[in-house]
Structure 1
Amino acid sequence: MIENTNIADEKKYNKLIVALSILIPVVVAVLFGIKIPNVEPLTFLPPIYATVNGITALVLVLAVFQIKKGNRTTHEKLMKLAIMLSVSFLAMYVAYHMTSDSTKYGGEGAIKYVYYFILLTHILLSIVVIPFVLITYVRGITNNIEKHKKIAKITYPLWLYVAVTGVVVYIMISPYY
């Protein structure tokens, strides 16, 4: 009976997960192309949102450590914090790009290809991870623990990669701001 309740609870969220998984990248892409005129560029944001990415990575690692210790309540709080951090990163990232011109990477040679590989995988996986995070979260809050664990094994490394590479991208491009 509990399993059926979990599935019914999860299904309530499916349309929202699909909608957000499509809407977030589309809205970000649209907003990324909009420049707000006569506004002071928010050039102070990149080191802040890079730090938020680093904190997100740390929170994800701590959350996994806590659940392995059996601290479910702390794990849940940390995962909610990781989601809030990711949302705040996204808001700052969009605000920066709506007020500032994109910075061109100035490195040359092999490092340029490394940078663009990291950047491309970071961007693509940041889109891919959205439904994984949402599904994993819903399975957790609906107490569908076995399915939650199963998808979390995919979500965690993807999300951690996106958070860490966000910091790496910033470090690599920061000399060119």
Structure 2
Amino acid sequence: MRRTLSRQDKVAVPVIIGLSILVPLLVLVLMFLPERFNFFGIQSGSFPLFHAVLNGSTAVLLMMGYFFISIREYKLHRNVMIVAFFLSAIFLVSYVLSKISNDPVPYGGDGFLRILYFFILISHIALSAIIVPLVLFTMYRGLTGEYKKHARIARWTFPIWFYVAVTGVLVYIFMLPYY
């Protein structure tokens, strides 16, 4: 039997799908800007550390959220996941600003480290695009009390989101000598 969308879903689902398409496209376009516009006069070295701190903090919060749900501390789980979501949103806005403001910094390593770096970077970028709709749908289902749907999608969202957060820190560590 086909389930009809609730009134709430008729608004939320198209918004989530729209954001899931728009956000990665915006980041992709910004990566290939021919000219940068440093509106805030921020040094390029300021962003990467900030992004690594946000990603690392998100990873810690995700582990805390996983722990809290495993011991059935639902309010603590909800609260740390909301904070993780907001840190990721702050990261995204800051990342977009950094792409508008500063030229990309090329990786200067070679050999096995170069291969490892690009594997981590490419998987990080690909999964970053995938994580947008997963996080939005997971948050939406949890906050609307649709816990079975929330749990089903969270099984996919958690490991991918955690991987993206951790590899964001790893990319920073690999790039540290070149900033």
Task: Report the TM-score, using the length of structure 1 for normalisation.
Answer: 0.90
Instruction: Tell me by how many angstroms 1:38 deviates.
Output: 7.5
Code of the aligned partner of 2:72: G
RMSD of aligned residue pairs (Cα, Å)? 1.8
1:168 aligned onto 2:170: yes
Which residue pairs with 1:16 in the alignment? 15
Matched-pair contact (CA < 8 Å) for 2:38–2:100:
no
Number of equivalent positions: 173
Matched-pair contact (CA < 8 Å) for 2:38–2:102:
no
1:96 aligned onto 2:95: no
Pair 1:38–1:76, CA change in 2 (3 A): closer
Instruction: Tell me by how many angstroms 1:143 deviates.
Output: 1.1
**Runs of 5+ unmatched residues, structure 2:** none
Distance, in Å, in 2 between the alignment partners of 1:74 and 1:12 is 28
Which 4+ stretches in 1 moved above 4 angstroms? none
Which residue pairs with 2:79 in the alignment? 77
Which residue pairs with 2:117 in the alignment? 115
Secondary structure at 2:150 match in 1? helix
The structure 1 residue matched to 2:135, chosen from 133, 149, 153, is 133
Distance, in Å, in 2 between the alignment partners of 1:49 and 1:97 is 12
**Runs of 5+ unmatched residues, structure 1:** none
Which residue pairs with 1:25 in the alignment? 24
Matched-pair contact (CA < 8 Å) for 2:36–2:100:
yes
Q: Provide, for residues 115-145 of structure 1, a one-character-per-residue CA deviation record: whole Å limited to 9, x for no partner.
A: 0010000000000011111111111112111
Matched-pair contact (CA < 8 Å) for 1:36–1:98:
yes
Which residue pairs with 2:153 in the alignment? 151
Code of the aligned partner of 1:50: A
Instruction: Tell me by how many angstroms 1:41 deviates.
Output: 4.3
